[in-house]
């Protein structure tokens, strides 16, 4: 039970952070909505970098990814390294533009941005609904993953893990808002880094050094040390990940919304530097551990178990507890971001826009807190017995969001002619064609479906925009006179 | 308007860096051939160059790019 000690301390720290920042949003000089949903645009470079990383790195990078690397070898680590430049890509392309524009329009969500750019109710409602569906799918999948991990590490029943876990996350997100989410993300990012470092060096030592480990693998599985894993990872497939976890990340609302929340240019510059190194190191180390596991404990059949089993078998219980904090942190930091975004979507984008345009401050406060709590409870009950549909939605969540939002966000910011007709048609076309291709397993010469979907939705967006009217001067002024 | 030009310049530099990392990654993974006994720091040399050295180099480049080409602008 020593293993539980670090986990408990860690969960208490999360709650403590929320408690501390809780005060801020009730101060008189603070705009509640800007504070609760975007932390009053106050993030410094370190917190910005860590929150982008932590939101983006979920259970898959800590448990699933290394599990596949265990099965396929260095080729899968090569694939994971594609994610190294995503932090500087996102910030470099979107950062300052989004920061300036969102301040101009007083926006705190990606939907605010879409509304200001396209001035069209269908874009807003369609966008909000697509986000909510995918967000909730992602939250449930991560909840389930977290509770299962907790179950396998501690031996306590699934339901206990789920209750503790969801209680902590829902509480700190609901009372603390975006600021608590960003701060806990920063702590969680550090925990992930420390955790993976500890495990890496322990395994390195257990295996008698890197060369020794690699030679052992070479003797039994030489194909594990080649870029295509002896043909298991085809080139078109791995190259299409440059789209899926690379360029198209620019269309993920949870990541891009962070570009609205930083304090000044300097924090963005620092975040580009910190973010690139931390993501790179985390991806490299965690996936490499998966491969090294082949030499340390061969013969594990379920890939997902390799990381927890390496941790439990090779680390002192207290250190193992700290380590398990890594994937738990990855999961929690993903869940909290999606939770606060879902509540922002409901309160800000739907309720205030369409139901009650001028609520008083107290009402907004109450509704925001209750919405966060309410969504938290819904996902808790869904996670008790996850319906098949949700598992399916989670599989689609990453690429689905990209196919919906890549064009409206990027082309909206960089192309003056972009308009609502283009946005609506590309959103509908993107999601529909992505679902169609995936369900019927339509494959384009071995590439992931996201590649053709993004290219086609760009074409649809351009055609649609030329069919519709030019955007008015005011919109052009807001978005391009910066 | 003055900002827009600078922002576009920064976006182009970001794209160039991104492309450079891709080219580096691709070259050492698929064009460069390492022998089966070619190890650096215990890792097969293609992997070391592509993933480990690639990470170090892109970090240095991002640092230099931010230092020399990215400007502090007023966001409000």
Interface contact B47-A225, CB threshold 8 A: yes
B58 vs A280: CB contact, 8 Å cut-off? yes
pLDDT of residue A146: 84
Q: Mention every residue, 6+ apart, whose C-beta is less than 8 A from residue A153.
A: A3, A308, A312, A320, A324
pLDDT tens-digit profile of A45-92? 999 999 888 888 876 788 889 999 999 999 999 999 999 999 999 999
Any A CB within 8 A of B36 CB:
yes
Query: Given a cut of 80, is residue B2 above it in pLDDT?
Result: no
Helix (H) or strand (E) holding B43: strand B43-44
Query: Does the beta carbon of B19 lie under 8 angstroms from any beta carbon of chain A?
Result: no
Q: Which residues of A touch B (CB under 8 A)?
A: 74, 77-78, 81-82, 84-85, 88-89, 92-93, 96-97, 99-100, 103, 209-214, 218, 222, 225, 227, 235, 242, 246, 264-266, 269, 272-273, 276-277, 280-281, 284, 480-482
Chain B residues in contact with A264 by the CB 8 A cut-off are: 72, 75
Whole-number Å distance between alpha carbons of A78 and B44: 12
Q: What is the rounded CA–CA span in Å between residue A264 and residue A260?
A: 10
The tokens of A416 are what?
A: 């003056």
Asked if the ipTM is above 0.90, the reply is yes
Name A480's Cβ contacts closer than 8 Å, sequence gap at least 6: A416, B4
Angle A388-414/A110-118 helices, nearest 10 degrees? 50
What was the pLDDT predicted at A118?
A: 96
The answer to whether B47 faces chain A, any CB pair under 8 Å, is yes
Beta strands of A126-266 (E only): which ranges?
none
Task: List the single residue in A with minimal CA-CA distance to B57.
Answer: A277
How distant is the Cα of B23 from the closest Cα of chain A, in angstroms?
A: 11
CA dist A239 → A69, A167, A188 (Å) = 17, 40, 30
Q: Are B25 and A81 in contact (CB < 8 Å)?
A: yes
Interface test with B, best of A42, A65, A81, A264 (most B CBs within 10 A): A81
> Helix (H, G, I), strand (E, B), or coil: what is residue B40?
strand
With a cut of 90, say whether residue B22 has pLDDT above it. Answer: yes
Contact in structure between A184 and A14 (CB atoms under 8 Å): yes
pLDDT in tens, chain A (482 residues): 788 888 888 888 888 988 888 888 888 888 888 898 888 898 999 999 998 888 888 767 888 899 999 999 999 999 999 999 999 999 999 999 999 999 999 998 999 999 999 999 999 999 999 999 999 988 888 888 888 888 877 888 989 989 988 888 889 888 888 998 889 889 888 888 988 999 999 999 999 999 999 999 999 889 999 999 888 899 999 999 999 999 999 999 988 999 999 999 999 999 999 999 999 999 999 999 999 999 998 888 888 888 888 988 888 888 888 888 888 888 888 888 889 999 989 998 899 888 888 888 888 888 988 899 999 999 999 999 888 887 788 878 889 999 999 999 999 999 999 999 999 999 999 999 999 999 898 888 889 999 999 999 999 999 999 999 999 999 999 999 98
- The rounded distance, in Å, linking the Cα atoms of A165 and A380 is 10
Tell the residue number behind the tokens 């909510």, with chain if given: A132
For A205-235, give the DSSP string: HHTTSHHHHHHHHHHH-GGGGSTTGGGTS-H
Torsion of CA A374, A403, A68, A271, to 10 degrees: -80
Q: For the packed helices A306-314 and A265-296, what is the interaxial angle rounded to 10 degrees?
A: 80
> A7-32 burial by CB neighbour count: b if 16+ within 10 A, else e?
beebbeebbebbeebbebbeeeeeeb
Going by pLDDT thresholds of 50, 70 and 90, the confidence category of residue B1 is low
Residue of B nearest to A277 (CA): B59
Percent of chain B exceeding pLDDT 90 equals 84
Q: A479: which residues sit within 8 A by CB, 6+ positions away?
A: A101, A116, A117, A412, A413, A416
> Cα distance from B38 to chain A (closest Cα, Å)?
11
Contact A235 B30 (CB under 8 A): yes
- Mind telling me how many Å the CA of B63 is from chain A's nearest CA? 6
pTM to 2 decimals? 0.91
The mean pLDDT value for B18-26 works out to 97
Place of tokens 């408690």: A19
Q: Which residues of B touch A235 (CB under 8 A)?
A: 30
Question: What local confidence, expressed as pLDDT, does residue A71 receive?
Answer: 92
| Burial classification of residue A300, based on how many CB atoms lie within 10 Å of its CB (0-12 exposed, 13-18 middle, 19 or more buried) | middle
Structural tokens at position A205 = 């030592």
Is the CA virtual torsion A318, A322, A323, A329 positive or negative?
positive
> Are A400 and A248 in contact, with CB atoms under 8 Å apart?
no
For the segment B63-73, the average pLDDT, to the nearest whole number, is 95
C-beta separation of A210 from A373 below 8 A: no
User: B53 — contact with chain A (CB < 8 Å)?
Assistant: no
Burial class (CB in 10 A: 0-12, 13-18, 19+), A389: exposed
Nearest CA in chain B to A281: B55
CB atoms within 10 A of CB A190: 15
Distance in angstroms (rounded) separating the CA atoms of residues A101 and A380: 36
Instruction: Report yes or no: B20 at the A interface, CB cutoff 8 Å.
Output: no
What Rg, from alpha-carbon coordinates, does chain B have? Answer: 17
Rounded Cα–Cα distance for residues A167 and A379 (Å)? 12
Dump pLDDT digits (tens) for A5-56. Answer: 888 888 888 889 888 888 888 888 888 888 988 888 989 999 999 988 888 8
């Amino acid at each position: 039970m020593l293993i539980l000690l670090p986990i408990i301390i860690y969960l208490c720290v999360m709650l403590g952070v929320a408690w501390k920042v809780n005060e801020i949003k009730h101060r008189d000089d603070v705009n509640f909505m800007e504070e609760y949903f975007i932390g009053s645009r106050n993030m410094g470079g370190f917190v910005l970098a860590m929150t982008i990383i932590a939101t983006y790195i979920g259970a898959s990078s800590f448990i699933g990814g290394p599990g596949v690397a265990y099965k396929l070898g260095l080729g899968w680590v090569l694939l994971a390294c594609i994610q190294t430049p995503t932090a500087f890509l996102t910030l470099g392309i979107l950062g300052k533009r989004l920061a300036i524009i969102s301040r101009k329009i007083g926006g705190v969500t990606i939907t605010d941005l879409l509304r200001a750019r396209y001035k069209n109710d269908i874009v807003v409602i369609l966008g909000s609904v697509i986000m909510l569906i995918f967000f909730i799918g992602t939250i449930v999948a991560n909840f389930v993953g977290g509770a299962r991990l907790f179950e396998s590490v501690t031996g306590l029943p699934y339901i206990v893990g789920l209750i503790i876990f969801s209680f902590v996350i829902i509480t700190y997100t609901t009372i603390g808002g975006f600021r608590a989410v960003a701060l806990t993300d920063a702590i969680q990012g550090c925990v992930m880094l420390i955790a993976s470092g500890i495990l890496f060096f322990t395994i390195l030592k257990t295996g008698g050094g890197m060369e020794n480990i690699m030679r052992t693998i070479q003797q039994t599985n030489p194909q594990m040390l080649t870029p295509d894993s002896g043909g298991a990872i085809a080139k078109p497939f791995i190259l299409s990940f440059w789209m899926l976890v690379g360029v198209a990340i620019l269309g993920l609302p949870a990541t891009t919304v962070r570009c609205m929340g930083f304090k000044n240019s300097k924090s963005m510059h620092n975040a580009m530097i910190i973010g690139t190194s931390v993501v790179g190191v985390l991806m490299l180390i965690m996936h490499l551990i998966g491969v090294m596991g082949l030499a340390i404990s061969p013969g594990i059949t379920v890939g997902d178990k390799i990381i927890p089993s390496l941790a439990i078998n090779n680390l002192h219980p207290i250190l193992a507890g700290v380590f398990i904090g890594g994937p738990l942190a990855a999961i929690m930091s993903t869940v909290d971001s999606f939770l606060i975004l879902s509540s922002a979507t409901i309160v800000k984008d739907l309720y205030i826009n369409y139901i009650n345009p001028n609520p008083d401050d107290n009402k907004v406060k109450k509704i925001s807190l209750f919405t966060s709590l309410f969504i938290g409870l819904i996902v808790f009950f869904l996670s008790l017995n996850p319906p098949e549909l949700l598992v399916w939605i989670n599989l689609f969540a990453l690429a689905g969001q990209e196919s919906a939002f890549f064009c409206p966000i990027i082309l909206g910011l960089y192309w003056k002619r972009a308009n609502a007709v283009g946005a609506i048609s590309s959103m509908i076309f993107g999601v529909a064609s992505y679902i169609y291709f995936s369900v019927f397993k339509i494959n384009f010469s071995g590439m992931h479906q996201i590649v053709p979907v993004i290219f086609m939705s760009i074409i649809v967006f351009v055609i649609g925009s030329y069919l519709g009217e030019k955007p008015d001067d005011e919109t052009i002024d807001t978005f391009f006179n910066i | 308007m003055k900002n827009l030009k600078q922002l576009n310049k920064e976006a182009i530099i970001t794209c160039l860096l991104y492309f450079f990392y891709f080219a580096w990654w691709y070259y050492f993974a698929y064009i460069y051939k390492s022998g089966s006994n070619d190890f650096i720091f215990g890792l097969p040399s293609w992997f070391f160059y592509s993933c480990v050295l690639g990470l170090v180099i892109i970090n240095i480049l991002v640092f230099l790019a931010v230092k020399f080409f990215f400007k502090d602008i007023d966001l409000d």
